[in-house]
C-alpha cells in the first residue's frame, strides 16, 4: 500500500517506535523511480532537505525532490522470496490544488483524536474518564487493519508515551469464531490521515484490558471485524510471515485488510462494474448491516452500514481484503464527501489518458495482474470507465517488461495496476516514473528512464505467469505528506 505523507521519514520512525512496525528503509529521489534512489543512512551528512520540506528541485545529487519510508514483510526462510511492501511517500513536484495533503491530514487527525479521551488515560484503575461518550468519526475507517497475538505490550507503550488511540472490543464475525470477543486499538497517524488498526484476540494485562470499551454502533462492528478466524490468522503469523518482537516487547503487526470510507456506495459499486473487475478474477461482495444509531442523523439510510469487499490474495497465497465502508450515521460523514469531491476534482484536472499525475494518486492500493491479463489490455477497462491513468515501466525480467498503470479509482482512493506490457496497444516508449517532474514523465537527464524505455522497446514480451486473478501487489502505502 502506498500513502501520501507530509513528513515521510518522521512518519516511518513513528511507525517503528510507537507501533513496532519493524525496520524502515529511508530513500530519497533525485529523478526516476527506485532504480536511481539515493539511500541516506543515519550519521551521514545531509543538506537543507533534512527537515523534509524538500524545497530543492532539479536533477543533481544535491536536490532531493521526493522521499519515502519503506516497510517490508517477508516470507519465512525456504517459503519463497515474496515481500509485502508498505510505502510512506512524500513528493514535492506533483500538483495537489490549494488544499494540500497537510491541510487534510491535519483536519482528519483532529477529527479522529478529538474524542480519544482514553488515549492519555493512565493504567490507574481509578481513572473515571469515559472514552465511549464521544462521537465516532467516519474517518477512522481510513486505515490499515493488522493482527497481533496480544495487545498488552502495545497498550503499555501507548499509555507510557501518550500515543492517541481508541481501545475497543467487538464480537467476531469470522466463520467458526462468531461471538468471540476481539480487542482493537485505533491509532491515528499524525502524518498521513490514516489510522493503524491493531486487532488481537487477547489483552493479557488486566489493567490494560479494562481500558477497552464496546465499539460504538456508528462504527459498524461488521465493518471493523476481521474477516478471518483466529486460528487462520495465527497460522499465517506463525508459519508464513517473518515475525519479530522489538526492544519494547511489541510484536510486529501483520497486514490483513485495507479499509477506506465512502460517501457514495452506489458510486463504488458502479465504478468496479464499469472497469469489469470480475473479468480480472476478483470476487466482490456488498454487505448491508442495520443497527441502532446513537449519532444525530436522520433518514432512512442513517442506520444502515454498507461494506463493499474486494476478496484478494497476497503473494504469500494468504487471503486479503480491501474494502470500502459506508457509515452515514457516523460523525464527519459529510466531511468524507467533501474530501472525496475535492481530491477527485484535483486528479481529473491534471491527469488524463496516459498522461499527467496528481499527488493525490500517491494514496493507492496496488494490485498485480497475473496470467493472461496484460497492462495493454486493462487500459481499455480503465478508459471505458473514464479513469485517468499514467503508464510507466518498473522492471525488466529477461524479455519481459513489467510496469504499472498508476490510475485513479473511486471515493478518493487510487489503484496501481501492476503487470506486464506486451506492447500490443502501448506503442511508444513508456519510460520510468520520474518523481521530480509534475507529470511523472521521464526527462532527458534521466539516464535510468531512457535505458528502461530503450530496453523495453527492444524486448520480446511473453505473458507473466502466476496465480489467476487480481492480487494485491504489496501494501504501497503512500500517503501524501
**What pLDDT, on the 0 to 100 scale, is given for residue 166?**
95
The pLDDT of 334-339, averaged and rounded, is: 98
Look at 72-76, 144-148, 284-288 and tell me which has the smallest mean pLDDT. 72-76
How would you classify the pairing of strands 400-410 and 389-397? antiparallel
Strands (DSSP E) found in 353-412: 364-369, 389-397, 400-410
54's enclosing H/E stretch is none
247 part of a folded domain: yes
Helix/strand/coil for 426 = coil
- List Cβ neighbours of 347 (8 Å cut-off, separation of 6 or more): 358, 360, 361, 388, 408, 414
Q: CA 57 to CA 150: how far, in whole Å? A: 45
- Does the pLDDT value for residue 123 go beyond 80? no
Q: CA 402 to CA 384: how far, in whole Å? A: 23
Give the confidence band of 16 by pLDDT, cuts at 50, 70, 90: very high
**What pLDDT, on the 0 to 100 scale, is given for residue 454?**
43
- Does the pLDDT value for residue 185 go beyond 70? yes
Residues 191/88, Cβ–Cβ less than 8 Å: yes
Give the number of residues written for the chain. 481
189 part of a folded domain: yes
Record the cell numbers describing residue 384, joined without a space. 471505458
The pLDDT of 420-431, averaged and rounded, is: 84
Give the confidence band of 144 by pLDDT, cuts at 50, 70, 90: very high
**Phi then psi dihedrals of residue 166, to 5 deg:** -115, 135
Dihedral class, residue 266 (left if φ above 0, else alpha if ψ from -120 to 50, else beta): alpha
Residues 446/32, Cβ–Cβ less than 8 Å: yes
Q: CA 160 to CA 187: how far, in whole Å? A: 14
Give the confidence band of 75 by pLDDT, cuts at 50, 70, 90: confident
Record the cell numbers describing residue 95, joined without a space. 500538483
Give the confidence band of 301 by pLDDT, cuts at 50, 70, 90: low
Q: CA 157 to CA 132: how far, in whole Å? A: 21
Q: Bridge partners of 470?
A: 369
Residues 199/310, Cβ–Cβ less than 8 Å: no
Q: What is the pTM of this model?
A: 0.86
The pLDDT of 205-234, averaged and rounded, is: 96
Q: CA 316 to CA 338: how far, in whole Å? A: 37
Domain residues for the domain of 151 are 102-338
**What pLDDT, on the 0 to 100 scale, is given for residue 240?**
85
Which residue in 81, 38, 95, 80 sits closest to 61, CA to CA?
A: 38
Residues 236/230, Cβ–Cβ less than 8 Å: no
Look at 48-57, 69-78, 94-103, 130-139 and tell me which has the smallest mean pLDDT. 48-57
427 part of a folded domain: no
| Number of domains the chain contains | 1
73 part of a folded domain: no
Look at 204-213, 290-299, 362-371, 463-472 and tell me which has the smallest mean pLDDT. 463-472
124 part of a folded domain: yes
Residues 264/328, Cβ–Cβ less than 8 Å: no
265 part of a folded domain: yes
113 part of a folded domain: yes
**What pLDDT, on the 0 to 100 scale, is given for residue 460?**
31
Look at 84-93, 211-220, 269-278 and tell me which has the smallest mean pLDDT. 84-93
**What pLDDT, on the 0 to 100 scale, is given for residue 65?**
76
The pLDDT of 198-214, averaged and rounded, is: 97
Portion of the chain with pLDDT greater than 70, in percent: 76
**Phi then psi dihedrals of residue 445, to 5 deg:** -75, -10
Q: CA 69 to CA 380: how far, in whole Å? A: 33
DSSP state of 193: S
**What pLDDT, on the 0 to 100 scale, is given for residue 445?**
64
The DSSP string of 198-264 is: EEES----HHHHTT-EEPPGGG-HHHHS-SS-HHHHHHHHHHTB---B-TT-PBPPEEEEEEEE-S-
- List Cβ neighbours of 103 (8 Å cut-off, separation of 6 or more): none
123 part of a folded domain: yes
**Phi then psi dihedrals of residue 328, to 5 deg:** -65, -15
- Does the pLDDT value for residue 263 go beyond 90? yes
Instruction: Give per-residue pLDDT as tens, 28-51.
Output: 776 654 433 454 444 444 443 444
Record the cell numbers describing residue 156, joined without a space. 503499555
Work out the mean pLDDT of the chain and round it to a whole number: 81
Portion of the chain with pLDDT greater than 90, in percent: 55
Q: CA 421 to CA 379: how far, in whole Å? A: 11
* More confident call, 327 vs 471: 327
Give the confidence band of 444 by pLDDT, cuts at 50, 70, 90: low
Distance of CA 352 to the CA centre of its chain: 23
**What pLDDT, on the 0 to 100 scale, is given for residue 30?**
66
- Does the pLDDT value for residue 151 go beyond 90? yes
The pLDDT of 69-79, averaged and rounded, is: 84
Distance of CA 433 to the CA centre of its chain: 20
Record the cell numbers describing residue 24, joined without a space. 524502515
Torsion of CA 22, 159, 259, 386, to 10 degrees: -80
Q: CA 356 to CA 366: how far, in whole Å? A: 19
Residues 189/236, Cβ–Cβ less than 8 Å: no
Instruction: Give per-residue pLDDT as tens, 367-388.
Output: 988 767 899 999 999 999 999 9
Record the cell numbers describing residue 456, joined without a space. 523495453
456's enclosing H/E stretch is helix 447-458
Record the cell numbers describing residue 275, joined without a space. 472497469
**Phi then psi dihedrals of residue 280, to 5 deg:** -95, 5
- Does the pLDDT value for residue 7 go beyond 80? no
Record the cell numbers describing residue 305, joined without a space. 452500514
Give the confidence band of 1 by pLDDT, cuts at 50, 70, 90: low
**What pLDDT, on the 0 to 100 scale, is given for residue 8?**
78
* CATH code of the domain containing 195: 3.10.180
Residues 251/242, Cβ–Cβ less than 8 Å: no
The pLDDT of 334-359, averaged and rounded, is: 97
The pLDDT of 305-319, averaged and rounded, is: 89
Look at 132-146, 365-379, 454-468 and tell me which has the smallest mean pLDDT. 454-468
3-state secondary structure 260-309: EECCCHHHHHHHHHHCCHHHHCCEEEEEEEECCCCCCCCCCCCCEEEEEE
Amino acid at each position: 500500500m502506498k500513502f501520501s505523507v507530509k513528513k515521510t521519514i518522521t512518519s516511518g520512525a513513528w511507525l517503528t517506535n510507537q507501533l513496532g512496525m519493524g525496520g524502515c528503509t529511508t530513500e530519497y529521489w533525485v529523478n526516476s523511480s527506485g532504480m536511481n534512489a539515493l539511500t541516506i543512512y543515519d550519521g551521514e551528512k545531509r543538506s537543507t532537505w533534512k527537515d523534509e520540506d524538500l524545497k530543492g528541485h532539479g536533477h543533481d545529487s544535491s536536490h532531493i525532490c521526493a522521499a519515502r519510508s519503506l516497510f517490508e514483510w517477508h516470507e519465512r526462510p525456504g517459503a519463497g522470496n515474496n515481500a509485502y511492501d508498505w510505502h510512506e511517500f512524500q513528493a514535492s513536484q506533483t500538483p495537489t490544488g490549494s488544499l494540500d495533503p497537510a491541510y487534510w491530514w491535519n483536519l482528519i487527525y483532529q477529527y479522529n483524536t478529538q474524542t480519544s479521551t482514553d488515549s492519555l488515560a493512565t493504567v490507574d484503575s481509578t481513572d473515571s474518564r469515559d472514552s465511549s461518550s464521544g462521537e465516532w468519526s467516519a474517518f477512522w475507517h481510513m486505515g490499515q487493519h493488522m493482527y497481533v497475538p496480544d495487545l498488552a505490550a502495545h497498550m503499555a507503550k501507548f499509555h507510557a508515551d501518550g500515543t492517541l488511540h481508541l481501545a475497543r472490543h467487538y464480537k467476531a464475525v469470522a466463520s467458526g469464531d462468531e461471538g468471540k470477543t476481539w480487542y482493537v486499538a485505533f491509532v491515528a497517524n499524525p502524518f498521513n490521515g490514516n489510522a493503524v488498526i491493531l486487532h488481537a484476540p487477547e489483552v493479557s494485562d488486566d489493567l490494560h484490558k479494562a481500558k477497552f470499551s464496546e465499539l460504538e454502533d456508528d462504527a459498524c462492528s461488521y465493518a471493523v471485524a476481521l474477516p478471518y478466524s483466529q486460528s487462520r490468522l495465527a497460522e499465517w503469523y506463525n508459519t508464513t510471515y517473518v515475525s519479530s518482537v522489538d526492544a519494547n516487547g511489541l510484536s510486529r503487526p501483520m497486514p490483513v485488510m485495507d479499509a477506506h470510507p465512502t460517501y457514495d456506495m452506489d458510486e463504488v459499486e458502479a465504478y468496479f462494474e464499469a472497469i469489469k473487475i470480475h473479468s480480472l478474477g476478483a470476487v466482490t461482495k456488498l454487505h448491508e448491516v442495520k443497527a441502532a444509531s446513537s449519532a444525530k442523523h436522520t433518514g432512512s439510510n442513517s442506520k444502515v452500514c454498507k461494506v463493499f469487499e474486494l476478496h484478494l490474495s497476497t503473494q504469500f497465497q494468504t487471503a486479503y481484503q480491501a474494502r470500502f465502508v459506508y457509515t452515514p450515521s457516523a460523525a464527519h460523514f459529510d466531511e468524507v464527501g467533501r474530501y472525496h469531491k475535492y481530491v477527485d476534482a484535483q486528479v481529473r484536472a491534471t491527469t488524463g489518458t496516459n498522461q499527467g499525475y496528481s499527488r493525490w494518486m500517491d494514496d493507492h492500493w496496488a494490485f498485480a495482474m497475473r496470467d493472461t491479463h496484460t497492462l495493454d489490455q486493462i487500459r481499455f477497462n480503465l478508459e471505458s470507465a473514464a479513469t485517468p491513468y499514467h503508464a510507466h515501466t518498473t522492471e525488466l525480467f529477461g524479455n519481459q517488461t513489467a510496469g504499472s498503470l498508476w490510475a485513479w479509482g473511486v471515493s478518493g482512493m487510487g489503484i496501481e495496476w501492476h503487470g506486464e506490457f506486451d506492447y500490443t496497444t502501448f506503442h511508444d516508449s513508456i519510460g520510468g516514473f520520474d518523481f521530480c517532474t509534475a507529470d511523472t514523465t521521464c526527462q532527458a537527464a534521466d539516464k535510468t528512464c531512457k535505458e528502461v524505455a530503450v530496453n523495453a522497446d527492444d524486448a520480446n514480451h511473453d505473458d507473466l505467469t502466476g496465480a489467476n486473478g487480481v492480487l494485491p501487489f504489496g501494501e504501497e502505502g503512500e500517503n501524501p505528506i
